[in-house]
Amino acid sequence: MSIFVDDRTKVVYQGLTGSQGRFYGLLNRDYGTQVVAGTNPKKAGTDVDGIPVFAGVADAVAATGATASCVFIPAPGVKDAVLDAAVGGVAFIVVITEGVPMHDEAWFFNALRRDHPDVRLLGPNCPGIISPGRCNIGITAGHIAKPDGPVGIVSRSGTLTYQALYELAQQGIGVTTCVGIGGDPVPGTSFIDCLQAFEADPDTKAVMMIGEIGGSAEEEAAEFIEQNMSKPVVAYVAGVTAPPGKKMGHAGAIVSGGKGTAQAKMDALRDAGATVGLNPTAAGAPSSWSQSCETTSTMSAPAAVGFRPTVAPASRSASIFAWAVPLPPDTMAPAWPIFLPGGAVTPAMYATTGFVISALM
């Protein structure tokens, strides 16, 4: 299974006739996503490589049965585009656009909650969402994601999301759904929304959460993890060395008034029971896993860290064992085993942003 989107999702691209909308709309269609329509009030009645263009989302929904929209409208027009999508009848809106004014974000965030409570907004300023092999909405490269896996990913960072997907795929580990919630101050979908959905998804066995400095989203997620998550959670927080008061990339990535620091977020997540990556540039030594794996692969990775134990394995032959540990420079020994039920895997090390897991069947 997957969360939020699957192979039944039908997508209308708002801005399909623009260069970026066309590029990613066609790319997503080629991936297998049902891209059924585009919108442009001035080009209604035309098409983009066979995809019909309508004046607005309501017309597209009536003609094609679209259930989701992807917004590639320039920032000044995003407010109207989101409202057009919600009124038009889609249940899921993905806003890729960067640079949306904060007051516009706050306006349509509250408008959706008040007038369209059944509509989910993802973004703005996000890479989108991918349920590998089923549906890809946004700008994530589909070929770097492996389907049918036990891991769900939620991230504020776009590029670290891509690295996580790619390195998981390199080690033969698939993903149920990867959600990029975006780094703006008013995200439509939060960490908690995604954690809650992954917790309810029977095919997601563990969750990878990638945060960054600024705001309180990670601290709020930590509280949710402690009180509600039965599945193991691995977290990494970017921005450990960020100077206070300086925006680091995203509009929401800023330490202000002593709040929103990476260390505070890491402490909160660790106290909640999540396993937290300590150093995104450290190398995970393959020899660290020789005690636990019959076979390991040689590769360098960011900080080595893994999942916390939740369920004791019933038997070695029917279980996936994974050993993982924070690896400061002088630390070499694995720390704890965990159990992920189901699915055959070859002995492998998986390395990704803040994580190294060594699996043995």
Instruction: Answer for the pair 339, 312: CB distance below 8 angstroms, yes or no.
Output: yes
| Amino acid, single-letter form, for residue 215 | G
Give CA–CA dist 166/183, Å, rounded: 21
- Kindly give, in sequence order, each residue whose CB lies less than 8 Å from that of residue 99, ignoring residues fewer than 6 positions away: 75, 125
Written as one string, the DSSP assignment of 213-244 is SSSSHHHHHHHHHHHH--S-EEEEEE-TTPPT
Instruction: Answer for the pair 336, 324: CB distance below 8 angstroms, yes or no.
Output: yes
103, 116, 143, 250: the catalytic one is 250
Look up tokens 């509509």; give the residue: 119
Q: Show the tokens assigned to 310.
A: 């939740």
Q: In what order do the strands lie in the sheet with 120-122?
A: 47-48, 51-54, 34-39, 10-14, 68-71, 92-95, 120-122
Looking at beta carbons, which pairs linking 118-121 to residues 24 or more positions away fall under 8 Å? Answer: 118/91, 119/85, 119/86, 119/90, 119/91, 119/92, 119/93, 120/4, 120/91, 120/92, 120/93, 120/188, 120/189, 120/193, 121/82, 121/93, 121/95, 121/188, 121/189
Instruction: Answer for the pair 100, 75: CB distance below 8 angstroms, yes or no.
Output: yes
**In the annotation, is 250 catalytic?**
yes
193: helix, strand or coil: helix
Q: What share of the chain is helix, strand, coil (3-state, %, to 5)?
A: 30, 25, 50
Q: Show the tokens assigned to 99.
A: 């640079």
Instruction: Answer for the pair 154, 194: CB distance below 8 angstroms, yes or no.
Output: yes
Residues identified as active-site: 250
